[in-house]
Amino acid sequence: MDSPDPVTRMRAALPGMLTDIEELVTCESPSADLAAVARSADTVARVGTRRLGVPPERIVIDGRTHLRWRLGDGPARVLLLGHHDTVWPLGSLETRPYAVSGGVLRGPGSFDMKAGLALAMHAVASLADPSGVTLLVTGDEEIGSPSSRTLVEDAAAGCAGALVLEASADGGALKTERKGVSSYGVHVHGRAAHAGLEPQRGVNASVELAHQVLAIGALGRDERGTTVTPTTMSAGTTRNTVPAAGELAVDVRVRDAAEQARVDAAIRSLSPVLDGARLEISGGPNRPPLTLEASSALFSAAAALAGRLGLPPLTRAAVGGGSDGNFTAGIGTPTLDGLGAVGGGAHADDEHVLVDALPGRAALVAALVTELLAGPGRPEPDPSAGAPRP
């Protein structure tokens, strides 16, 4: 009797996948809570060990917990990349409990991106030989990966491809372009004075900030897809005192490295408008852009595999949000993002995952890993090869 096709095999594994997702989602893991992230790492390690048969390396940097599975003894060929931290504070499960109803799975962090972690584990577990696969699960992606960036870049170096299990774009589209991200703080130093008796003796940090907001906002370029957005701002201490200090946060999103460099130079060259004011600039580029050139070959391979697996045609999208896929693309590793769960509502009250799409997505990831492991010059792999593991 012929063995079932990969998607059918993954459908048979769906109950176990849902069990794993529930276990992951019901262990809350807000990025800023180091103890919660450590507890979540324990849960991810337990689920992953159950599926992959081996425990991960546990890596703690600056108190943040990351996990890494390096399978086989040979060099790494494929990186599967995800994170287990979320934006949701402790207690979110009380008002947004985990639930599956009508084919829709809900729960804080389910779409972004704990369902993607379970999907990745099941995809790797289905491989006949996962040697050369690295699965890296970080614990600080939602706050910009301050402690894990080097881990991500080191794991991606020399790989044939990095597959990012972040949630899909609308309609299940893969993410083939992500904007680069820069973050700045603009700090104004002025001089305090009594606002009623002698305001002229002060240097008003609020007024200086207003000038800088207008200058910074003008740095955006709609035709280039560059957004430069002043966000949070504060100044002053009391209502009747000329503010002596103030600060402004700036969010920058760009499609290409040239724009990132242009905006960086412009912000660092800002000068005060008021006599006696002084500016101090902090921050800078955080994530380089994930460009279409970095993802196009992998998307073409995934689209061909989807056809062979009998899945709906793949679509792709360019998105403004960053991920750790920006880092892997930034060092020159071919990168395909958005391979995780299909659904919507990331970071929002309606966060959800479409259950019926999980088996096909897992089968696609497994087939793509198999093709990357085969490498150039070898026979094209058959996505129906391999046997499921318990």
Segments making up each domain of the chain, as ranges: 6-178+289-374, 180-287
pTM of the predicted model over 0.85 = yes
Measured distance CA(161)–CA(80) in Å, rounded: 9
**pLDDT given for residue 376 in this prediction:** 67
Q: Does domain 180-287 have CATH number 3.30.70.360?
A: yes
Phi first, then psi, for residue 261 (nearest 5°) are -70, -40
Residue among 247, 277, 106 nearest 183 (CA): 247
Angle formed by the axes of helices 115-125 and 34-52, nearest 10°: 30
CB 321 within 8 A of CB 178: yes
Phi first, then psi, for residue 84 (nearest 5°) are -115, -5
**pLDDT given for residue 4 in this prediction:** 80
- Two domains, one topology: 6-178+289-374 and 180-287: no
CA triple 137-141-143, angle to 5 deg:
155
| pLDDT per residue as tens, the chain (390 positions) | 456 899 999 999 999 999 999 999 999 999 999 999 999 999 999 999 999 999 999 999 999 999 999 999 889 999 999 999 999 999 999 999 999 999 999 999 999 999 999 999 999 999 999 999 999 999 999 999 999 999 999 999 999 999 999 999 999 999 999 999 999 999 999 999 999 999 999 999 999 999 999 999 999 999 999 999 999 999 999 999 999 999 999 999 999 999 999 999 999 999 999 999 999 999 999 999 999 999 999 999 999 999 999 999 999 999 988 999 999 999 999 999 999 999 999 999 999 999 999 999 999 999 999 999 998 633 333 333 333 332
In CATH, which of 3.30.1490.20, 3.40.50.620, 3.90.1150.10, 3.40.630.10 is domain 6-178+289-374? Answer: 3.40.630.10
Long-range contacts of 276-280 (CB under 8 A, 24+ apart): 276/190, 276/191, 276/203, 277/188, 277/189, 277/190, 277/203, 277/205, 277/208, 278/188, 278/189, 278/190, 279/186, 279/187, 279/188, 279/189, 279/208, 279/212, 280/186, 280/187, 280/188, 280/189
CA triple 78-169-177, angle to 5 deg:
60
3-state secondary structure of 228: strand
Residue among 54, 27, 55 nearest 139 (CA): 27
